[in-house]
Chain A
């Protein structure tokens, strides 16, 4: 376990290993994504209340899950950065931020596109949409802070602290927004976690969730490789890579 941890912590090793994984990740993602798409759009039955519009769930919910998952990954990376000063964790953290932000954005827009047929307006101050919006601000804060600090090692540590502070706050924000919502609108019917969702509707959701997970690793590896090469362009291992 520790050996594995250290190996992935070394930039040249990460660069090489991630490069080997890329086509596999891409292929695996394609398999899950296409089967999820076909299953969700074609085979899953229409909802008896919402008709066909509920099919937005298959992008909205996995995107919302990923938006939270990726922030938690960033916080874990932040802890690793502060405790072990590991450069790889810094790069994984900051490379995750744009992916997480775009999933948050996707969840927001699909949520409001779903809201139009459901609630009659594109935007309601629903608990989930609101806390997703605040999460987007948190992501933009991380990206903005990293961009504002020129010295990149310093920026990495600043962002690590911010990610941890944000992660401590996310449950609090989530809870307070949920509480605020229940106070102002009465208990809204949560459309998502219906206890008795039929498995034929659940299966495409799970397929898409797995597809998005794999996609995250794939996109992350691509981004990390690009960042690594750019940051370490003067180091020995990059030079050896290009000498031959």
Chain B
């Protein structure tokens, strides 16, 4: 099986690859979004605590 044959998927390339592409996007989003939310909260909390220390 050649590489171009593999990417062609027997003529169904558009359907197969867009399915897998969408799956990847969905899987990535569910990791990246919470990760970003977590990082932002951590940053905010750090800033808050630093300010708290300065004040005291």
Contact = CB atoms under 8 A, between A and B. Distances in A.
Contacts of B23: 59, 63, 106, 110
Contact of B45 (A37, A56, A116, A229): A229
Contacts of B11: 51-52
B15 A225 contact: no
A242 B20 contact: no
B35 A222 contact: yes
Interface string A38-60: 00011000100001110110011
B12 A222 contact: no
B10 A46 contact: yes
B6 A42 contact: yes
Contacts of A59: 19-20, 23
A226 interface: yes
B28 to A, nearest CB: 10
Interface string B12-56: 100110111011001101110011011001101110010000000
A42 B26 CA distance: 22
Interface stretch (A96-104, A143-151, A174-182): A96-104
B9 A52 contact: yes
Name the interface size band of chain B. Answer: 20 to 34
Nearest to A59: B23
Name the interface size band of chain A. Answer: 35 or more
A229 B16 contact: no
A32 interface: no
- Mostly helix, strand, loop or mixed at chain B's interface? helix
Nearest to B18: A113
Contacts of A37: 20
A102 B12 contact: no
Contacts of A222: 31, 34-35, 38
A218 B31 contact: yes
Interface in A209-244: 215, 218-219, 222-223, 225-227, 229-230, 233, 238-239, 242-243
A68 B43 CA distance: 36
7 contacts: A46-B10, A52-B10, A106-B23, A117-B15, A215-B30, A219-B31, A226-B41
Interface of A: 37, 41-42, 46, 51-53, 55-56, 59-60, 63, 95, 98-99, 102-103, 105-106, 109-110, 113-114, 116-117, 215, 218-219, 222-223, 225-227, 229-230, 233, 238-239, 242-243
Interface of B: 6, 9-12, 15-16, 18-20, 22-23, 26-27, 29-31, 34-35, 37-38, 41-42, 44-46, 49
